[in-house]
Structure 1
Amino acid sequence: MLTKKNWFRVFVLVTLSPVVFASQPALRFGVDLTYPPFQSTDKTGHPAGFEIDVTDALCKSIDAKCDYVINTFDAQIPALLAKKIDVISPLGVTPKRMKAIDFSNYVFHVPTQLVAQKSANLLPQSDVLKGKIIAVQQGSIQEAYANKYWLQAGVNIKSYPDQDAIYQDLYAGRVDGALSPSVGIMFGFLQTPEGKDFELKGPEVTDADLFSAGSAYGIRKNDEQTRKLINQGLQNIIKNGMYEKIKKRYFGDLDLSVKNG
């Protein structure tokens, strides 16, 4: 038999249960997992890397359930627009992309540089690269830059679906160099046995119309709820020091901050 006191307890539990036991917000993040140490797979085949750890921390800070949907890089924006995913793992915020999708606050900035064999006398200049084969990733700002400035000058541009394929052909000598985000090269490919005879060549490659001030999570236009969630998570992990802790674990004191965002 319910006493007045016990009846009150049951009433409170019932009225609160839709809130207390409500499911967590679920977000699907598009990733390609071919770009260590930013995105890759661990020994068990699960998503790993700097961006994955940042995303996991972000999701935990907003009590959200986050799942990873694997796609090639150039398929991420179409997948977002088709609502197959809710968020794209950080990518460069370029004017062209801003016409199609929205972005979160900036997460980091990574320069673009040319990588080639140490013995190769190459620089990221069209006259020096004429007749050479340069690899780029499909759908990337590096591909857009190479096609705009180098292709018409006689440089052979070869596009690949992912960075792993670029590294394989770079090591095998099937391409003369690759235009890629430098941090991934420095802390990924150059740290492997296959990359020991390679180095970054010349200065950072920039273009105000093509390149971005930094990288951010990609979000569908007008999806303000998701954008607010992601930005809140970013703010949380920056404020509590988790972002810096993760960054140092992967890159030490390397400055990834966005200077002109």
Structure 2
Amino acid sequence: MKIAAILSAAALALASAALSPAEAQSGYYPVFCQGIAVGSGGNSMFLSSGFYQALSTPPEGYLITDATLTAEFAKAVKAQTGETVLGQTCYTRADRQELEAFIATTRASNGGNWKLVDVTWLPTGAYPLTTNLADLQPGGGPSPRATPAPAAPPASSAAAAARSAEADRVAVELRQREQAERAAAAAQAEAERRLAIAKADEELRAVNAQQAQMAEAQLRKNAEEQRIFEEKQRVYEERQRAFAAAEAKYQAEVKAAAEARRKWEADVAACQAGDTTRCAPAPQP
């Protein structure tokens, strides 16, 4: 969520004011950058010091839209603290005094909820706020003379800066809340995904168990049918063996009877021929 989108109406009205003639003539803007990081060690807000910077892209009200400048600030935070900022924004004000008042109110309004971390950083082509603005002409640098100490900001400027700082604080809190909601939604989605996987696994285990029971029942049925078949086969083979034995006995008896008949017929013929030794004995009275 862009901070510019949630500024209060008062801050937006203030942001639409034109810069002072000094800034307009020199082409340099008083700039201040800040960024946030949310981690296990707590919530941190990183703050730069103020500086004058010639911008490649005009600001939108008081919001700097130069992506190169904000990216350089994020790199400076990473290099000095090791933290990766979730969002960084650079601001400008009408003059040095208003910017310093804005920096002060930013620190005061966020010090209770954030760990404030100062970042020592001056981007390429920038000058400290102590530089005499009149010396910052196109193509030239600052003169050696020092800048007189700034006068205290008018009450109206301080109030406007305070309102703008409050709007920025609200924007940061909304951004943090949005990030927390996204994290909660992601956690909920992950929990639902895990629940769906667990449910699918449970259903698969139930199907596998049912199939295993059916397979076991089929195996038992097959084993019983095999046992019955083998028993029938055993009885059949025993009957076949008994039949073969009876058949062999019968054939032996038939053969013996045929042999006895042939012998009897031969004895009868011999007896009739006069060989009395082969005649059957006479029956006893």
Q: TM-score range by the shorter chain?
A: under 0.3
- State the TM-score, normalized to the length of structure 2: 0.23
Q: Which of the pair has more CA radius of gyration?
A: 2
More relative contact order, 1 or 2 (CA 8 Å, 6+ apart) = 1
